[in-house]
């Protein structure tokens, strides 16, 4: 994947092979189960893989043992691209749609990810605590914070950013941010990944005190 290699030049050979495999496996699955818009599958790398990895550009390094919950993962975004990037961290992927989780589970298995677990259910059925909760536009920001803040707690890893919620969204988010009763920091995605596709996209970080 050229864009992934461009922005993350320090990848290992294994990571490069795993990212390259996504370019074959997602279209293969998408022909059976529509986990990505059929009009968008040709843009898998910029719109889904690289978009997910904007969170990695924000985080930088993650300490070994960092735990991440991917809430509303669908077919595995952003969890699977992030799990490839951070083999030293653990990623728990949860979604209410079982058929989409089958895609994520199969792809994680076929590319050899050892740091991914899968759960079928909603946020209320996940009772563990994580260093971070991540998501891609699964619900309004205030709802996301309300639902997932209880899943954030210090798991012992010391990272650049305090435990919290990191999500990817687009459009005018002023009203959504104003509705959150916690400090919110928003970043223009084009500053993290200067690609035209991200001109109107944002990364949102909400720290949560354990």
pLDDT in tens, 160-193: 999 999 999 998 999 999 999 999 999 999 999 9
- Cis check: omega of the bond before 78, within 30 degrees of 0: yes
Question: How high is the pLDDT of residue 155?
Answer: 60
Question: How high is the pLDDT of residue 21?
Answer: 98
**Strands, sheet with 116-120, edge to edge from the N-terminal-most edge strand:** 116-120, 90-95, 67-71, 132-136, 164-170, 201-207, 185-188
Taking the alpha carbons at both ends of the chain, their separation in whole angstroms is 38
Torsions phi, psi for 93 (to 5 deg): -105, 125
Strand (E) positions, the chain?
67-71, 90-95, 116-120, 132-136, 164-170, 185-188, 201-207
Give percent helix, percent strand, percent coil of the chain, each to the nearest 5: 40, 20, 40
Q: Are 203 and 192 in contact (CB under 8 A)?
A: yes
d(C-alpha 200, C-alpha 190), whole Å:
8
Report, as ranges of residue numbers, the positions in the chain whose pLDDT lies below 70. Answer: 154-156, 210
Question: How high is the pLDDT of residue 39?
Answer: 82
Which conformational region is residue 93 in: left (phi greater than 0), alpha (psi within -120 to 50 degrees), or beta?
beta
pTM over cut 0.75: yes
Q: Mean pLDDT across the chain, nearest whole number?
A: 94
């Amino acid at each position: 994947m050229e864009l992934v290699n461009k922005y993350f030049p320090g990848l290992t050979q294994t990571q490069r092979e795993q990212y390259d495999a996504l370019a074959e496996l997602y279209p293969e699955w998408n022909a059976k189960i529509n986990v990505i818009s059929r009009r968008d599958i040709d843009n898998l790398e910029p719109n889904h893989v690289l978009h997910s990895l904007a969170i990695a550009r924000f985080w930088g390094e993650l300490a070994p043992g960092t735990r991440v919950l991917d809430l509303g993962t669908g077919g595995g975004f952003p969890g699977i691209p992030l799990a490839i990037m951070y083999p030293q961290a653990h990623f728990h992927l949860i979604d209410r749609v079982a058929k989409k989780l089958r895609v994520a589970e199969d792809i994680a298995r076929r590319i050899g990810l050892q740091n991914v677990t899968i759960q079928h259910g909603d946020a209320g059925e996940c009772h563990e605590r994580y260093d971070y909760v991540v998501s891609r536009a699964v619900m309004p920001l205030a709802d996301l914070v309300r639902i997932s803040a209880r899943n954030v707690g210090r798991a012992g890893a010391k990272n650049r950013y305090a435990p919290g919620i990191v999500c990817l969204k687009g459009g005018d988010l002023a009203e959504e941010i104003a509705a959150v009763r916690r400090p919110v920091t928003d970043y223009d995605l084009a500053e993290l990944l200067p690609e035209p596709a991200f001109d109107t996209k944002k990364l949102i970080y909400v720290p949560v005190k354990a």
